[in-house]
């Protein structure tokens, strides 16, 4: 009789432990999908019909720096030398302020390998504008805008 009670008690403890641990394990295994924003535009080009720029930013401003990544593709349209597309990947940072607006948000896209660091002023939720490394806007800023897709 005592052996039976011990076995039933052990089974009940196992059952209760399984029920208690089940939902907690399920919740910890759920993954949160990263936010992806894609921006596209055509920049002016002296020797061609424009430079198509596609930027995909993964992550959110509140994420840790290592969780914010980007890919950038620059394609020259009808360039006489037909250069290959330029492809970059790396991380992005959120900077605050420009010389004309201390509250502005600027995204700094830094490639993992050699390549140019890009600076984009966030005009609104769907528009980025290419700016210089000193965070100043160019005179032809409206021609340097990317729209969210």
In terms of pLDDT, which residue wins out, 4 or 128? Answer: 128
31-83 residue pLDDT tens = 566 699 999 999 999 999 999 999 999 999 999 999 999 999 999 999 999 99
Supply the pTM of this predicted model.
Answer: 0.76
Q: Which CATH architecture has domain 36-148?
A: Beta Barrel (2.40)
- 86-120 pLDDT, tens digit per residue, is 999 999 999 999 999 999 999 999 999 888 899 99
Q: Is the distance from CB of 44 to CB of 50 less than 8 angstroms?
A: yes
How far is residue 4's CA from residue 53's CA, in Å, rounded to a whole number?
73
For the chain, helix (H) and strand (E) counts, in that order, are: 1, 8
Tell me the domain boundaries of the chain: 1-30, 36-148
Of the two residues 2 and 87, the one the predictor is more confident about is 87
Q: How far apart are CA 7 and CA 4, in angstroms?
A: 5
Helix (H, G, I), strand (E, B) or coil at 144: helix
């Amino acid at each position: 009789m005592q052996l039976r009670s011990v076995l039933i008690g052990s089974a009940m403890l196992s059952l209760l432990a399984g029920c208690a641990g089940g939902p907690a394990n399920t919740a910890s295994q759920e993954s949160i999908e990263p936010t992806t924003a894609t921006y596209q535009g055509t920049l002016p080009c002296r020797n061609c019909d424009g430079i198509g720029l596609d930027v995909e930013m993964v992550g959110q401003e509140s994420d840790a720096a290592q969780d914010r990544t980007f890919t950038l593709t620059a394609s020259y349209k009808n360039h006489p030398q037909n250069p290959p597309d330029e492809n970059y990947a790396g991380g992005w940072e959120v900077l605050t302020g420009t010389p004309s607006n201390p509250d502005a948000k600027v995204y700094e896209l830094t490639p993992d390998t050699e390549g140019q660091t890009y600076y984009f002023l966030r005009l609104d939720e769907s528009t980025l504008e290419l700016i210089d490394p000193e965070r100043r806007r160019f005179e032809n800023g409206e021609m340097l805008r990317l729209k969210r897709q």
